Chain A
Amino acid sequence: MSSPIVLHFHDVSFSYPHLTVLEDVSFHVHEGEFIALVGPNGSGKTTLLKLILGLEQPKTGTIELLGQNPSKARVQIGYVPQHASYDPSFPISVLEVVKMGMVEARGRQPKEKLKEMALEALEQVELASLSDRPYSDLSGGQRRRVLVARALASKPGILILDEPVANMDKESEARLYATLGKLKGTTTILIVTHDMRMVSSLTDRVFCIDAHKEGKVGRTVVQHMLQDVEGDGIKRVLHNIEIPADQCSFPQEADNE
């Protein structure tokens, strides 16, 4: 691929005390790509995400995010967390949640500019009409789309979504992927999910955290070939065709079904 690399892992290993999680992880992502990062629960997806966001530091190896250390570059990421510990009694409106996407380490920005950018982001996820509603009044799927709007509010170059469609109804899922489809090509998108069989048809490449290299304790990352499933808007992950994680041009595509 000719577009610049925005995320690069070089031989990264990571351990918690008494637990080796990742070993020999090398992969890269190009600008504008739509990437799925899949793996079963407990495989190290959250750890890998924390490494990308600079919330954890690798034990060995290096990580470059937009050519910098992730802890410096992470403010340029639009991050959509699972937000599993959400407090429904927290008093906040939809618009205020989205404005939070532009919060800085200190100080505050002009109110009008914040409102304008937040409404623009809500338009992108088709929820502008709900901007004044309490966030807790929304359905789970709508709340997830509001979090996507919050991530988009700062107009990030990279969007990272952690399990974005978990517990989401089909309609909300379709709306979310429609939004992501509009962003594809202009924004680099990385989706983390535990569904290892199918990914969205928007996906360009899939990375899988599942395999252990011979003689290693921690897991590593490999790529698998994708196969279109016609009419369903999804691609099947072909686990029997493995590609080195750091390779981004494939000799041949899998045949369509």
Chain B
Amino acid sequence: MSELIGFFEALLSPDFPFVRHAFFAGVLSSVLFGVLGSVVTVKRIAGLAGAISHAVLGGIGISLYLSATGLVPNLSPMAGAIVFALLSALVIGTVSLKSKQREDTVIQAIWAIGMSIGVLFMAKTPGYTDPSSYLFGNILLISTQDLIMLLVLDIIVILLAWYFYPQIEATSFDEEFSQVRGIPTRLVFLVILAITAVAVVLLQTFVGIVMVIAMLTIPAGTAGFGARNLVSMMVGSTLFALLFSFTGLAAGWMLDLPVGAMVVVIAGAFFLGRSAGHLIRMRRST
């Protein structure tokens, strides 16, 4: 109990700004995990988003190398990650649309090549570079600038989801029919993939590259059990993500464990429990 009180004191104390930053990062990330995660889940593109999220390590590694060697002074890892994420999204999206037969191979190749490039450049970066903070997240690294960028992306995603809701719902439910109705389904797919790519880069500060995809799918999957429609899935998923982020942050602080991993473990356990409950209910009703 005293650890929990200690967490709330740290959250409110001006001496621990990183805890407050982590808390706000959790709140802002929850909107993306909820809204974008629901779209990723119903469009069944979690595999593509996973490949993009891992490939961004390449951009981070290159940026760190260029900055540390003075070739491009003060280049932020975030900038390199965003460029890499968008390029990966473009290649993966194009392959997914044009060459269904080779889709899996190309996606897995981009996943692995991106990560390998990151590791190689980090190995040659002067000074000490710890890839694990990018892979698993580090709440000490969350800056005010990161929070502002998350807020801006939250606003953009909410506005786009609101304005294009009928088109997003239709293309996710039945792409062929949507195409006949005149919706540019390929453009919708590529835009969703590009926004997911940028979101993945911003979200990795909170839970890390490896676990971003878990948080883009688990809250949405958990909310999906009781959702009546896509919008209620988005709202439910945001609330679940908020719950998992807050409890993960608190548990990580109290047990002195990595917050990103804690958030994902709590989310995963909740999801598995809800899945088991759903299966039992289904069996009883049949």
Interface set of A (CB-CB < 8 Å, partner B): 53, 55, 74-75, 77, 79, 81, 83, 86-87, 89-93, 96-97, 99-101, 103-108, 134, 150
B66 contacts chain A at the CB level, 8 A cutoff: no
**Please, which residue of chain B has its CB at the minimum distance from the CB of A71?**
B182
B176 contacts chain A at the CB level, 8 A cutoff: yes
**What are 11 A-B pairs with beta-carbon distances under 8 A?**
A53-B180, A55-B176, A86-B174, A87-B42, A87-B173, A91-B224, A100-B169, A103-B166, A103-B170, A105-B167, A105-B182
> Of the 9-residue stretches B90-98, B138-146, B229-237, which lies at the interface with chain A?
B229-237
Check A100/B173 contact, CB under 8 A, given A91-B228, A92-B230.
yes
Chain B residues near A77 (CB-CB < 8 A) = 180
A98 to B166, CA, bound (A): 12
Check A93/B229 contact, CB under 8 A, given A100-B169, A103-B170, A106-B164.
yes
Most chain-B Cβ atoms within 10 A of its Cβ — which of A74, A92, A134?
Answer: A92
Report the contact-size class of chain B (Cβ under 8 Å from the partner): 20 to 34
- How distant is B158 from chain A, measured CB to nearest CB, in Å? 16
Chain B residues near A105 (CB-CB < 8 A) = 167, 181-184
A169 to B179, CA, bound (A): 29
Decide: B44 and A87 in contact? CB cutoff 8 A. Answer: yes
Decide: B176 and A100 in contact? CB cutoff 8 A. Answer: no
Check A79/B180 contact, CB under 8 A, given A90-B42, A91-B232, A91-B233.
yes
**Please, which residue of chain B has its CB at the minimum distance from the CB of A53?**
B180
Decide: A79 and B173 in contact? CB cutoff 8 A. Answer: no
A55 to B178, CA, bound (A): 11
B217 contacts chain A at the CB level, 8 A cutoff: no
Decide: A93 and B228 in contact? CB cutoff 8 A. Answer: yes
Decide: B229 and A103 in contact? CB cutoff 8 A. Answer: no
The list of the 8 closest CB pairs from A to B, nearest first, reads: A91-B227, A105-B182, A103-B170, A75-B182, A79-B180, A103-B166, A100-B170, A108-B166
A75 to B170, CA, bound (A): 14
B172 contacts chain A at the CB level, 8 A cutoff: yes
- How distant is B162 from chain A, measured CB to nearest CB, in Å? 10
Decide: B165 and A108 in contact? CB cutoff 8 A. Answer: yes
Chain B residues near A90 (CB-CB < 8 A) = 42, 172-173
Given contacts A104-B183, A105-B181, A107-B163, 13 further A-B contacts (CB under 8 A): A53-B180, A74-B182, A75-B180, A91-B224, A91-B232, A92-B173, A92-B229, A92-B230, A96-B229, A97-B173, A101-B181, A103-B170, A105-B183
